[in-house]
Amino acid sequence: MAFSEHQADRIKQRLSRYNLTAEKKMMGGLIFMVNDKMCVGLDIDKKTGNDRLMVRVGKANHDQLVFKKGSREMDFTGRVMRGFLFIDAEGFDSEEDLDFWIEKALYFNNDIT
């Protein structure tokens, strides 16, 4: 499993205030479950060797958020997975940027039924 423990700790710190129900090693990285639903993931981009965040933002938010700094469509399987975004390190290195993406993922997580 390839992911940064430092980045994982940053994410855990933020999600500890919410109903973080599990951390699962999957898809080559670490997935954080909130309310028993996939919320945020972390891995290392095999092409660049850099940290990469995966956020579940939902299809309705996908098109507006894909243009944010460091954001790109998630194409983990070779095709775009609408509702999920990859965020390159430049898009979540600052505390404010990581907070932004965690907030977006939590917003969607709490709205799904």
Question: In angstroms, rounded to a whole number, what is the distance separating the alpha carbons of residues 105 and 39?
Answer: 6
From first to last of its 113 residues, what are the pLDDT tens digits of the chain? Answer: 578 899 999 999 999 888 888 999 987 899 999 989 999 999 999 889 999 999 999 999 999 999 999 999 998 778 899 999 999 999 999 999 999 999 999 999 886 53
Long-range CB contact pairs, 90-93, < 8 A, 24+: 91/53, 92/51, 92/53
Domains and CATH numbers, the chain: 5-111 (3.90.1150.30)
Q: Give the ranges where 3-94 is alpha helix by DSSP (H).
A: 5-15, 59-65
Question: In angstroms, rounded to a whole number, what is the distance separating the alpha carbons of residues 56 and 19?
Answer: 16
Beta bridge partner(s), residue 26: 29
Q: Quick one: pLDDT at residue 113? A: 39
Question: In angstroms, rounded to a whole number, what is the distance separating the alpha carbons of residues 89 and 35?
Answer: 26
pTM score of the predicted model: 0.91
Backbone angles phi, psi at 105, to 5 degrees: -65, -40
Q: Quick one: pLDDT at residue 67? A: 94
Report CA 58 to chain centroid distance, whole Å: 12
